[in-house]
A and B are shown apart, each in its own frame.
Chain A
Amino acid sequence: MSVIARDEEGKEFLFMGNEAIARGALEAGVRVAAAYPGTPSTDIIENLSQVAKTRGLYVEWSVNEKVALEVAAAGSYSGLRSLCAMKQNGLNVASDFLLNVNLIGIKAGMVLVVCDDPSAHSSNNEQDSRPFARMADLPLLEPATFQEAKDMTRLAFELSEELGVVCLLRGVTRTSHARGNVVLGKLPPIDTRKPHFDTAKPWRSQPIAEKHNRLHQLLDRLQETFSSSPFNLYEGPKHPELLLVTGGTGWLYSREALEILGLENSVGILKIGTSWPLPEKLLVENLAKTDRVLFLEEVEPFLEGNVKEIAADHFDEIGPKKFFGKKTGHIPVFGEMNTDRVIAAVGKIMNVSHRARDAEYEAQAKEAARTLLPNRTLGFCPGCPHRASYWAIKNALQLDNREGFATYDIGCYALARGPAGYHVLKTGGAMGTGIGLASGFGKFSEMGFEQPVIAMCGDSTFFHAALPGLINARHHRANVVMVILDNSATAMTGFQPHPGIGKSAGEASAEAVDIEGICRAIGAKVEVTDPFDFEGTRAKVLKALEDPSGVKVLIMRRRCQMLKDKEEAALFQVRIDPEKCLGEVCGCNRLCTRVFKCPGLIWDPSAGKARIDEVICVGCGICAEVCPQGAIRKEAGKS
């Protein structure tokens, strides 16, 4: 059971930011929650799903973010408070409905949590979601602490219901995926009200222009309310030599930086928790206190641009200012914020220097970093079926010998852009992009394009965004091979179920939708293979590559090793026969460790031969297929 349902008002716990958001939703009486998993947002729904039964909620992992937002809206229209959560890329998917529902309006409180990933720790892009609030004319709150993550979520529900619009809440990796102190509030009694849609009052966005006008009027009033919000606050001297304007994580970093630099009495911090609409009145009051302003924020210069706009509008009252931030190069235009970045920027402006450690230590540290630290490139886990799949694909593409390549979308399998998957993947990007690109490439044969193309796709991704691309390919008679890596989970984000599995969020059962059946119905030629059957898989890839027409779908099916690890014993005891391994003189050029690259296989430099690292090896046995000497032996039944 998740920690979020503790009925211990006033007690303090260590909560992850996402747990705090989920708790805030419970305190606000949320009844419906829907999402598609995406780091760093996933834990919100994971936690709510664990308490769904006991708290009387409906929680689901939706097929994609747009559908999740629509399911949440249905909750709101039925009189149930609803939450939808997603990562930044997900908002792009959901934005089509978001930029309709903003004008349509909602009934019961509805909160959309979007978690950005500055520095792209677990993402394919670095994106700031805040401009969406301005674009959709919707209120946006941004917590700076774990306590605020909980309290703001609660406020977001109240605000949303009061105003009749969706309220946005932005987390980032360092709030959502970090942990800190949270004092719990009161949990409301379990709500058993029956959902009902009032057909006498249909929800629609007519007349559109008038609705848009009203939304702007609402924001104008809201900025006044926000000017007295306790989530916006100024700390510092009456007339600071420099004013830091910041929001989200920037607040904690700024406080620490000023303390380290000893500038608390000369520099002030204005923390903004209500990021849209900006509290104009409060900003003008604070801008009037100083001549110099530094903006500290992740990722885009959102505060920077919008506050400057306010400063221009109020020039007569506040006079000229010198502004610093991303535009002036004091803060990098990419990557996440941290205390060191604030120290560097404030130090430069205030002409104060800071050195964390002495010059000798610094030099030694630099030398050690330069000479002693090997890279640790990300790779597939030991026993991962994707490694076997890519080994077969790589071999088939080589045998085919027509400069074939693969396209990709999002998932663990996208690691094959690098050495983990033998650089098989050449281009891709968003969810479903692999098949969309392949659909294009596959049409160009009529214009003389001769290279075979394989679209890589995961099982969860297949349902999320790959279906339209596959239909497009079939409809236009593109010559395409699509490989679906079916490992029975949304593995990258922590093994959430997807429509292909008979399970939904938490313990809820669900109908399994058949990937194979869908592909056949579309008109694709479908084959299924186990990637651990190396010879068979390679032959099927080759056959598909050689087939000159139509859409060929090859489903490579084997459960994620991380799922297996917990429930099943290892398949084999794997060892290397030192008599058979010829080592450096073999002529294989260390195929197993240099090319195949399973972390369970290491090179013993003293013996000059390969060895199994028994701490890492999970006993999948696939490496036995790789060794040309047959020196890797697999014996059934690892204890």
Chain B
Amino acid sequence: MTATREALNLIITGVGGQGNVLSSQILGQALVGKGYFVTIGETYGASQRGGSVMSHIRVSGRRQLSPLIPQGQADVVLGLEPVEALRVLTGYGYRETVVIVNTRPIYPVDVTSGDESYPEAKEIESALRNLSRELYLVPATEKAVEMGSPILGNMIMIGALLKLGILPLRDGEFTRTLERNFQGKRLEANLQALKTGAELIGRQGNPGAPETGR
């Protein structure tokens, strides 16, 4: 959480099946464990079937906030899919929004069918940059496939988010919660993914990007 605001609004967005709900839940558990009020509003159900999925994660030291972030008030957007990050930003972003986005598209059937087109990577990047204060591009799916499973992409993205130090979680506080949710090989893979995400952000050298907590 930033020093100047009493609440932090984070949106994790992607496509059904990317593991968005579980990652927001584990983040939330870690934050409640630290004494924060956390509210998570989730859109799923029908959205599991290839639709857009969005979790609103709201952190406050003062009180329980509502399950939906008001328009134009998302401080951080974690996009597991590029177009979905942009979709969220057009509604919930504002000048100060920090955006971290997985660069690998998942093409909607509306696009593969030829009815609509998916924007070029450059076009998406430029729009994301216009609508954010800081933008971080993370090749999470590519790395996850290298590591053995595309689903690890979500934990790589969480690793990147934690490394930026925007959330009031110190090193180890998230991993301890992770250890309560996973065991054995799955835990190991997720821990490795977190580390990979942190490294990917570390290497970006984005000017003005904070390396550690503020």
Contacts and interface: CB of A to CB of B under 8 A. Distances in A.
Contact of A373 (B44, B87, B109): B87
B30 to A, nearest CB: 9
A595 to B, nearest CB: 8
Interface residues of A, number: 63
B52 A249 contact: no
A245 to B, nearest CB: 17
Nearest to A12: B32
Interface stretch (A68-76, A338-346, A447-455): A338-346
Contacts of B51: 376-378
B99 interface: no
Interface in A558-612: 590, 593-595, 597, 599, 601-603
A567 B127 CA distance: 41
A376 B28 contact: no
Contact of A252 (B64, B87, B130, B145): B64
A373 B70 contact: no
Contacts of B116: 374-375
Nearest to B45: A122
Interface residues of B, number: 64
B162 interface: no
B204 interface: no
A356 B70 contact: yes
B70 to A, nearest CB: 4
A180 B113 CA distance: 40
B95 interface: yes
Contacts of A415: 49
A613 interface: yes
B145 A249 contact: no
B111 interface: yes
Interface in A31-50: 39-40
A381 B127 contact: no
Nearest to A415: B49
B113 A365 contact: no
Contact of A178 (B67, B131, B141): B67
Interface string B47-74: 1111110000000000011111011110
A181 B37 CA distance: 6
Nearest to B50: A379
A39 B47 CA distance: 12
B70 A365 contact: no
B117 interface: yes
Interface in B13-53: 15, 17, 25, 28-29, 31-32, 37-52
Of B47, B68, B118, the most chain A CB neighbours within 10 A belong to B68
A356 B66 contact: no
Contact of B15 (A13, A122, A376): A376
A242 B70 CA distance: 22
Interface in B63-104: 64-68, 70-73, 83-84, 86-87, 89-91, 93-95, 104
Contacts of A181: 32, 37-38, 64
Interface SS, A side: mixed
A460 B32 CA distance: 38
A157 interface: no
Interface SS, B side: mixed
A593 B94 CA distance: 37
A372 interface: yes
Contacts of A122: 45-46
B51 to A, nearest CB: 5
B107 interface: yes
Contacts of B141: 615
Contacts of A343: 70
Interface in A406-433: 412, 415, 419-420
A340 B127 contact: no
Nearest to B145: A615
A343 B51 CA distance: 29
B40 A179 contact: yes
A338 to B, nearest CB: 5
Given A178-B67, A356-B71, A594 B113 contact: yes
A247 to B, nearest CB: 14
B137 interface: no
B60 to A, nearest CB: 10
B123 interface: yes
B112 A14 contact: no
B66 A249 contact: yes
B108 interface: yes
A372 B86 contact: yes
A135 interface: no
Contacts of A12: 32
A372 B37 contact: no
Contacts of B70: 256, 260, 338-340, 343, 356
Nearest to B31: A14
B110 A376 contact: yes
Contact of B66 (A13, A253, A364): A253
B109 A597 contact: yes
Nearest to A17: B67
A441 B156 CA distance: 54
B67 A373 contact: no
Contacts of B130: 364, 368
A329 to B, nearest CB: 20
Nearest to A418: B109
B205 interface: no
B107 A365 contact: no
A356 B114 CA distance: 36
Contacts of A599: 50, 106-109, 112
Given A179-B25, A179-B38, A381 B114 contact: no
A373 B32 CA distance: 35
A358 B130 CA distance: 13
B67 A361 contact: no
A298 B123 CA distance: 39
Nearest to B128: A368
A603 B114 contact: yes
Interface in A302-360: 338-340, 343, 356-358
A175 B64 CA distance: 12
A249 B100 CA distance: 30
A177 interface: yes
A616 interface: yes
A538 to B, nearest CB: 22
Contact of B68 (A174, A365, A601): A174
Contacts of B68: 174, 253, 338-339
A11 to B, nearest CB: 10
23 contacts: A13-B29, A14-B28, A14-B32, A40-B45, A177-B42, A177-B44, A179-B38, A179-B39, A179-B42, A338-B68, A340-B71, A361-B94, A361-B95, A374-B108, A375-B110, A376-B51, A376-B108, A378-B46, A378-B51, A599-B108, A599-B112, A601-B112, A602-B112
Interface of A: 12-14, 39-40, 121-122, 145-147, 174-175, 177-181, 249, 252-253, 255-256, 260, 338-340, 343, 356-358, 361, 364-366, 368-369, 372-381, 412, 415, 419-420, 492, 590, 593-595, 597, 599, 601-603, 613, 615-616
Interface of B: 15, 17, 25, 28-29, 31-32, 37-52, 64-68, 70-73, 83-84, 86-87, 89-91, 93-95, 104, 106-114, 116-119, 123-124, 127, 130-131, 141, 145, 150
Given A121-B43, A340-B70, 8 more contacts: A175-B67, A357-B72, A361-B95, A373-B90, A375-B116, A599-B50, A602-B107, A615-B145
